[in-house]
Amino acid sequence: MKRARGGGDEEGPRQNGSAGRRKGDQQQSDGDDGDSAFGPADLQDDDNDPGLRREIRSKYRDLINSVQQNREDMLSPSNNKLTEVLEQANKLFKDVRQAREAALDAQLLVVATDLGKEKASQLFAEGTAFDPTAFAEHLLSFMGLNRLEDGEEEQNGGAVDGYLPQDAWHRVARRAECCFRTAPSFHYMMGSFHAEPPPPKQKTERQRKAPSKEAKRIMPTQLKKMEESHQEATEKEVERILGYLKSYYQDDPTSPISYYEFVIDPSSFSRTVENIFHTSFLIRDGLARMYLDSAKLPCIAPVEEGEVEAGGSCSRKQCIISISPKMWKELIDAFDIRDTMIQPPNTE
């Protein structure tokens, strides 16, 4: 793996390089890319072709990169990739004329030597060499990898396809336990915060609200996560509802739009829930605002184009509301809602 090269070459260009670079900065600032360097001794036509110089440097960089990126593969005793790299470098070296190229060559050589050293130590080490790739393979099996039957997946850079079970890392952790002498740690809740009594409660109110079984059922207690895949559909629907809101508002900007009248579909409870859900995005994004009218009933209005920015800066309040079929019916009666203001999407 030795490379033949003139003893003086190595030092020579480097010195030229630093001198040359300084010169280059002063004299050649209008050069091709500002980084071409001329050594005083290198003034032959061929050697001054900036394109060729750049190409050589770029090839060196690629080579260095490939060594650094594929270090583990190159270390494997089963291939000759390191030799191949060095042969390529030898070819490149024939055209090296300038200091910067020589510097890159030297850098490559450092990297390659380092690799060669490790490879050699591997070859001469007694016993089996540790192969991280094989280790990862075995570990995947240990973690319970469900391998895909498909044989052609092998092309994927030699990596095995398939998916790991949920508890894959727990399995490793469980197995590792006996290798560790970790002290168990002590966790507690009591004493981790300043003791503080609860805020005073209006006792009377609490007692008045003796829970009947129906009352308990009214509250929706759990908020289910929205599925990611529905996100686009949601966005469309939100825009559609904004359209309705704007057109009602434009019909008569002076009369307030009752929130409940807007969202409630008297023919469908589930549509009502969907409307409430989608309308909440308008509020969140500052496209609509809610306020209480003189009778303390919630109203909704679109936010004017110009207002949008200002609305974003004012403090936002979050609130979670609930609705049950019973409440829905009561609201329909109370507001005397006969028609839905938001037509279902597919009947348009």
Q: How many CB atoms lie within 10 A of CB 4?
A: 6
Please list the residues that pair with 146 across neighbouring strands. 163
Cβ distance to another protein smaller for residue 143 or 297 = 143
Q: Could you tell me the smallest distance in angstroms from the CB atom of residue 135 to another protein?
A: 7
CA distance 316 to 290: 11
Q: Could you tell me the smallest distance in angstroms from the CB atom of residue 141 to another protein?
A: 8
Cβ distance to another protein smaller for residue 68 or 267 = 68
Cβ distance to another protein smaller for residue 135 or 291 = 135
Q: Looking up tokens 């050293």, which residue turns up? A: 117
Q: Could you tell me the smallest distance in angstroms from the CB atom of residue 196 to another protein?
A: 7
CA distance 316 to 320: 13
Cβ distance to another protein smaller for residue 91 or 216 = 216
Angle made by CA atoms 339, 340, 343, in degrees to the nearest 5: 130
Cβ distance to another protein smaller for residue 182 or 250 = 182
Helix 168-176 and helix 132-142: axis angle, to 10°?
110
CA distance 143 to 164: 7
CA distances from 73 to 81, 115, 153, 159, 188 (A): 8, 11, 19, 13, 49
Buried-exposed string 328-345: b where 16+ CB fall within 10 A, e elsewhere: beebbeeeebeebbbeee
Cβ distance to another protein smaller for residue 103 or 301 = 103
Cβ distance to another protein smaller for residue 35 or 42 = 35
Cβ distance to another protein smaller for residue 196 or 348 = 196
DSSP letter at 301 equals E
Q: Could you tell me the smallest distance in angstroms from the CB atom of residue 175 to another protein?
A: 7
Closest CA to 116 of 94, 89, 85, 90: 85
CA distance 87 to 96: 15
Q: Could you tell me the smallest distance in angstroms from the CB atom of residue 300 to another protein?
A: 20
Q: Could you tell me the smallest distance in angstroms from the CB atom of residue 287 to another protein?
A: 20
Q: Could you tell me the smallest distance in angstroms from the CB atom of residue 317 to another protein?
A: 8
DSSP letter at 57 equals H
Positions touching another protein (CB under 8 A) are 68-69, 71-72, 125-128, 130, 132-140, 142-143, 159, 164, 168-199, 201, 203, 206, 210-211, 216, 219-223, 317-320, 322
Q: Could you tell me the smallest distance in angstroms from the CB atom of residue 186 to another protein?
A: 5
φ and ψ at residue 10, rounded to 5 degrees = -65, -40
Q: Could you tell me the smallest distance in angstroms from the CB atom of residue 89 to another protein?
A: 19
Cβ distance to another protein smaller for residue 145 or 341 = 145
CA distances from 1 to 216, 219, 269, 284 (A): 82, 78, 80, 67
Closest CA to 298 of 263, 258, 266: 258
